């Protein structure tokens, strides 16, 4: 051991210790990468959707929590979005023409004036989604879920006879009168209130009948 220390090992060990102290000092002073801006986040999420990267999009949405995501007028024509989570996403005037939205979660989504023509909607969930003036021509809307709790379906356009019959068979009559179970109506009002949305404007033009 003595011969080892005599060989200059002490100096080497002292240098190693100094290097470790230096490394730690560098780590403490190194600039941290700033969090992505809202614009960068929206751009990234939009790219995930356009490229059909549903898993990456859903994972990022989960990190964002229940925050409303604004993607108005986004172009997702023919996007492959099976199983995508679009809960509370603002998709007003979005181009979803020909997209595959089967088994998508669209609860509380804003789809006002969105182009949903020729979309695949099998098993998609539309609880509290706003479909006012949405273009539904050529879509299989009749195979979607939660349409009895959707908003503005009576003001949507383009529903063909098959979809209308399918909706009627589910007890959904397309008119300006909205029949709503009392407990569900209360739940939707609470949900919109938590989101900071003026539900009086959402239900404008409708006569609400609570059953």
Q: What is the pairing mode between strands 177-180 and 89-90? A: unpaired
pLDDT tens for 155-189 read 888 887 777 777 877 777 665 434 444 445 566 66
Evaluate whether 151 touches 129 at the Cβ level (below 8 Å): yes
Predicted pLDDT of residue 209: 45
pLDDT mean across residues, the chain: 78
Computed from CA positions of residues 164, 169, 173, 178, in that sequence, does the dihedral angle turn out positive or negative?
A: negative
Please report the pLDDT score of residue 83 as a whole number. 97
Please state which CATH number belongs to domain 38-166. 2.160.20
Q: In b/e form, how buried is each residue of 23-49, taking b as 16+ CB within 10 angstroms? A: eeeeeeeeeeeeeeeeeeeeeebbebb
pLDDT at 6: 55
43: which 2 tokens? 């751009």
Those residues with Cβ within 8 angstroms of residue 21's Cβ, 6 or more apart along the chain or in another chain: none
Which of 25-39, 58-72, 190-204 holds the top average pLDDT?
Answer: 58-72
pLDDT tens string 191-201: 666 666 555 54
Residue 180 is predicted with a pLDDT of: 45
pLDDT band at 81 (very low <50, low <70, confident <90, very high): very high
Question: Burial of 123 by CB count in 10 Å (0-12 exposed, 13-18 middle, 19+ buried)?
Answer: middle
pLDDT higher than threshold 60 for residue 12: no
* pLDDT at residue 11, rounded to an integer: 63
Beta bridge partners, 105, equal 85, 125
- Taking each helix axis from N to C end, the angle separating 38-50 and 54-64, rounded to the nearest 10 degrees, works out to 150
Q: What is the pLDDT of residue 159?
A: 81
- For the stretch 88-120, pLDDT in tens is 999 999 999 999 999 999 999 999 999 999 999
Identify the three-state secondary structure at position 93.
coil
Confidence of residue 154 (pLDDT cuts 50, 70, 90): confident
Structure tokens at 70: 């604004």
Return the pLDDT at 189.
63
Tokens of 175: 């008119």
48 pLDDT exceeds 70?
A: yes
Higher pLDDT, 149 or 12: 149
Residue 46 has pLDDT above 90, yes or no: yes
Per-residue model confidence as pLDDT tens digits over 19-32:
666 566 556 655 55
């Amino acid at each position: 051991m003595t011969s080892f220390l005599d060989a200059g090992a002490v100096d080497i060990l002292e240098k190693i210790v100094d290097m470790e102290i230096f490394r730690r000092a560098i780590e403490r002073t190194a600039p941290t990468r700033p969090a992505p801006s809202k614009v960068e986040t929206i751009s990234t999420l939009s790219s995930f959707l356009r490229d059909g990267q549903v898993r990456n999009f859903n994972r990022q949405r989960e990190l964002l929590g229940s925050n409303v995501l604004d993607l108005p007028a986004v172009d997702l024509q023919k996007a492959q979005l099976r199983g995508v989570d679009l809960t509370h996403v603002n998709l007003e005037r979005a181009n979803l023409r020909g997209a595959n939205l089967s088994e998508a979660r669209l609860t509380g989504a804003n789809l006002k004036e969105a182009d949903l023509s020729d979309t695949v909607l099998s098993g998609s969930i539309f609880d509290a989604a706003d479909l006012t003036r949405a273009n539904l021509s050529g879509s299989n809307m009749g195979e979607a879920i939660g349409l009895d709790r959707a908003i503005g379906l009576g003001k949507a356009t383009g529903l063909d006879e098959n979809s209308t019959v399918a909706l009627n068979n589910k007890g959904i009559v397309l008119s300006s009168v909205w029949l709503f179970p009392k407990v569900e109506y209360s739940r939707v009002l609470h949900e919109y209130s938590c989101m900071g949305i003026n539900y009086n404007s959402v239900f404008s033009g409708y006569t609400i009948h609570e059953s």
